[in-house]
Amino acid sequence: MSRPISHAAFRRMIEDSTPDEKQETISRLLRVLPRMIMDETAKIPPHYNPKVVKFLEKRYKIVCDLWSNILIERHVM
């Protein structure tokens, strides 16, 4: 498997997209990431990798933060 992009690059990629693309991407990730975390933690110990879970949890935290920023921007307008 290839190495994923860094968290900073991931955040920049989402922030640099158009508002519609940003909302679509964030809403998709808010649905998919929790499922990915559950699937990873459900694996049997030899295949379970805590680094992957930590990585996915960090991505989920970034996406939640971006979503809260969008909600704040909408409220201010």
What is the value of pTM for the model shown? 0.88
Residue 1 lies in a domain: no
Residue 60 lies in a domain: yes
Residue 45 lies in a domain: yes
Best CA proximity match to 65, nearest among 17, 10, 5, 6: 10
Residue 25 structural domain: 7-76
What would the two tokens of residue 56 be? Answer: 């996915």
Q: Are 26 and 66 in contact (CB under 8 A)?
A: yes
Query: What pLDDT is attached to residue 58?
Result: 97
Q: Are 57 and 38 in contact (CB under 8 A)?
A: no
Report DSSP letters for the chain, one per residue: -PPPPPHHHHHHHHHTS-HHHHHHHHHHHHHHHHHHHHHHHTS-TTT--HHHHHHHHHHHHHHHHHHHHHHHHHHH-
Query: What pLDDT is attached to residue 77?
Result: 65
Arithmetic mean of pLDDT, 6-21: 95
Query: What pLDDT is attached to residue 1?
Result: 59
Total structural domains in the chain?
1
Residue 2 lies in a domain: no
User: Which tens digits make up the pLDDT trace of 23-51?
Assistant: 999 999 999 999 999 999 999 888 888 99
